[in-house]
Structure 1
């Protein structure tokens, strides 16, 4: 595409203040900038410092990307100083306050738009008020949801038909209506706010759906071959406008770019874990990571450690709990554990270079909380999964991985519990790991995962489904600008 036609087209990106949503939003900004668009990313000061190296690297590649700062009202809402990232809100109450505080960003966003006059605003779906901000200035608002077509379809059907209100107990299964497959959930697996009295508590799904309907359309970090039934269902049956442009993690081709997709406030020595993996046989190591928000109790972490030990599998375990200052003891760590698993187990106590780890030939599977970024990265690396959903859209995502794609096995998590998750015993993890790594069905899952990895790569390349859909989106934006 001739970049001279697009160089003056200016797009604002306003990601939600959470790693799982900011990282893919930065990927998408890079995609637009690589086609000649002028891109501006709006971040709070803390988030800007976290992603400074990633953004600077994009600039060094010649991409037109800049950052505008927006102040987050942490002190006004009595949040700790510097609490500008969702993972720092460690209780339900804090997270609710944090989200309420984001509503106060509406006026500062208006000021930035008035000053810089972008042509388009790509704002996170959690900023439901962003659609009316864009409308005030007569600019296009695109929504970025951070999830996939399957989860969006399931969520919309849940909100419309409310099948969870027709069962008699928290554990009784119900079918989500009007989907291409028979998908069953229980009330236990739903967010707490979905089970509240809608006559008394405004439902966030209603607000989100109204915002989506009023926006121009949705950018989806997925690819058509992964979930074609649900991409078609979302657009043709539900009548929504959307473009699949992923997996965006494939934008980065070199080791440095892949390693820098994350939180730069953690200083992991990426070479240490990769060197450790170099000594292992292909498909012999399980990577265990639960994202940036999940905060398991010491008791649950101990069950994970003991399950890994009992399985006999080689593993990398990412635990975001540093040793207490001045102490050698960690409450979650079983006595003598590290010595017993020496040589076959590696513990990383901060941020890990996940993409590089998953791509290593020694890694044969991942234990994941079913965050969409982790699932996509696992799919791109061609590794099967043990699914351990905790919150958000993760129970939907588990159904996609296990039931539809058939590249994973569930650990048995049955309850939606923000941060802490359901209580899962060591025996359940041991069983799931054996199913993931051993036997004929494990090989079939791995084979299906490898096929999907190939399809993901082709979709993102020139001429692929995501490349073509991205071109279609660009053409629409150019037409809108010409007609304005």
Structure 2
């Protein structure tokens, strides 16, 4: 007689894409699964493991069955510069092919590890962009669950857009309605992701096609969302995926420890927590604007000037996160020459490099989040119950903005009209004026008119998000259902093997 495998005997192998915005939610997911008693093996490389080792080590010390396995990243062999192990460190679009070639080189090492792994791997939870995991899952006869960091709303938009693309029905100019959605969503081709609106530089369409083909073979999909946020789109996406869609977010809410929140994504990345707390504590509730464009988002110095002046002219206290590293010298030069930091020091705080975003957003003084609409940032803002000022830059971010403004009604846009492809920022200069930034901030922060409605709705969604991850909540239940699905798959496999 075949028995149901015990939870600790289940081994969920988690394989993220080596990119900050993909590593962070999957590291959270590893903790979330381990909290239910299963074994989780997180596969990455040494430099990337360092980003979350402190938080994972604390989780292990608390008794969670998590292991971090480090692979050797063969970046040099693939043609990448020395020490370049993360998509955020890739110097320009011309190196994207080399980056994905290096990702492909991880397959052989991973499969050798899986052969000897104890407990045996029960399933692979893989970032959609690590396409070779489809073949690996087939080889080991285990399910591959895909994660690609988008909402169900955006998944459905993308699904429909592929159909339109294949039928050559995406208009070159003007707005059009995305068909077969529960809401009327209008877009232009210029606002669509590069799958439908390619960049002018090096094309990686063949890589995207390979990723999409592998995604179609997946056993199921995990989504960093919660059902109450977008129920009609969850239902539609589930029907598309034969019922195997598990909404288990917001994943950031698995971090209850304040140190975990601070170190989430980059250990010791902001060493002035006391200064930050003191600064935040000095303001009245819901008066501070937090502005951050995520780990990959970059803007030109011309566009930065409009952002900075727009924040200043709004009259509200603000935190502005500024990138560090390559290409940032002109921005720092403008800040210095213009005296921006000195001039706004009474009510402005500049954070350079990585920001403890979840900590900041959860502070009661934050009343608005100016965001690029990456899905991680979006769902973190929603979880904190904070209204959003939307400024999409690239990828699927314009679709996320449509969800926030036209479906959820918790955002005001700055009026950005077109995708600025990664690596091509200089071609676009400044698309958004400082006046547009100021106007959007004032609309959201105004506690009387439109801002009051948006604020109330944002608070409601924040409460829903917290309830979703609690015992008995929709996301908690989905985690349990996912584990049960893998238990039953393993049980059926054992029964089949017994008959052979």
Pair in the same fold by TM > 0.5: yes
Q: Which residue of 2 aligns with 1:345?
A: 348
Distance in 2, Cα, partners of 1:328 & 1:220: 36
Equivalences for residues 367-446 of structure 1 within 5 A? 367-419=370-422, 420=425, 423-438=431-446, 439-446=448-455
Post-superposition shift, 1:162? 2.2
Q: Which residue of 1 aligns with 2:100?
A: 99
Distance in 1, Cα, partners of 2:330 & 2:218: 52
User: Is the CA contact (8 Å cut-off) linking 1:13 and 1:121 kept in structure 2?
Assistant: yes
Distance in 1, Cα, partners of 2:365 & 2:50: 33
**Alpha-carbon spacing, 1:63–1:426, altered in 2? closer, same or farther (3 Å):** same
Q: Which residue of 2 aligns with 1:294?
A: 297
User: Is the CA contact (8 Å cut-off) linking 1:278 and 1:362 kept in structure 2?
Assistant: yes
The one of the two structures with greater contact order (alpha-carbon pairs below 8 A, sep at least 6) is: 2
Q: 158, 162, 179: which one pairs with 2:165?
A: 162
Q: Which residue of 2 aligns with 1:458?
A: 467
Q: Which residue of 2 aligns with 1:271?
A: 274
Aligned length: 479
- Secondary structure, counterpart of 2:196 in structure 1: helix
User: Is the CA contact (8 Å cut-off) linking 1:18 and 1:87 kept in structure 2?
Assistant: yes
- Secondary structure, counterpart of 1:243 in structure 2: strand
Q: Which residue of 2 aligns with 1:15?
A: 16
Post-superposition shift, 1:430? 1.1
- Secondary structure, counterpart of 2:350 in structure 1: strand
Q: Which residue of 2 aligns with 1:449?
A: 458
Distance in 2, Cα, partners of 1:212 & 1:348: 37
**Alpha-carbon spacing, 1:160–1:429, altered in 2? closer, same or farther (3 Å):** same
Q: Structure 1-normalised TM-score? A: 0.93
- Secondary structure, counterpart of 1:455 in structure 2: helix
1:220 aligns with 2:229: no
Write out per-residue CA displacement over residues 339-374 of structure 1, whole angstroms, 9 at most, x where no aligned residue: 221211110112111111111111001000111111
User: Is the CA contact (8 Å cut-off) linking 1:164 and 1:186 kept in structure 2?
Assistant: no
* Stretch moving more, 157-166 or 266-275: 157-166
User: Is the CA contact (8 Å cut-off) linking 1:389 and 1:413 kept in structure 2?
Assistant: yes
Post-superposition shift, 1:227? 0.4
User: Is the CA contact (8 Å cut-off) linking 2:41 and 2:68 kept in structure 1?
Assistant: yes
Equivalences for residues 21-420 of structure 1 within 5 A? 21-116=22-117, 117-162=120-165, 165-166=168-169, 169-170=172-173, 172-195=174-197, 206-236=209-239, 239=242, 241-264=244-267, 266-321=269-324, 330-332=333-335, 335-419=338-422, 420=425
Q: Which residue of 1 aligns with 2:498?
A: none
Distance in 2, Cα, partners of 1:323 & 1:389: 22
* Stretch moving more, 92-101 or 338-347: 92-101
Distance in 2, Cα, partners of 1:328 & 1:391: 20
User: Is the CA contact (8 Å cut-off) linking 2:289 and 2:366 kept in structure 1?
Assistant: yes
* Stretch moving more, 75-84 or 440-449: 75-84
Distance in 1, Cα, partners of 2:328 & 2:244: 51
Post-superposition shift, 1:28? 0.8
Write out per-residue CA displacement over residues 71-122 of structure 1, whole angstroms, 9 at most, x where no aligned residue: 2221112211111111112411123431232122222222221221311111
**Alpha-carbon spacing, 1:322–1:71, altered in 2? closer, same or farther (3 Å):** closer
Distance in 2, Cα, partners of 1:312 & 1:75: 49
Q: Which residue of 1 aligns with 2:478?
A: 469
Distance in 2, Cα, partners of 1:78 & 1:52: 28
Post-superposition shift, 1:240? 5.4
- Secondary structure, counterpart of 2:8 in structure 1: coil
Post-superposition shift, 1:406? 0.6
Distance in 2, Cα, partners of 1:368 & 1:327: 22
Post-superposition shift, 1:167? 5.5
Post-superposition shift, 1:375? 0.9
Post-superposition shift, 1:309? 1.1
Distance in 2, Cα, partners of 1:20 & 1:326: 24
Distance in 1, Cα, partners of 2:146 & 2:331: 47
Post-superposition shift, 1:190? 2.1
Distance in 2, Cα, partners of 1:423 & 1:465: 40
Q: How well do the aligned residues superpose, as a CA RMSD in angstroms? A: 2.5
User: Is the CA contact (8 Å cut-off) linking 1:299 and 1:332 kept in structure 2?
Assistant: no
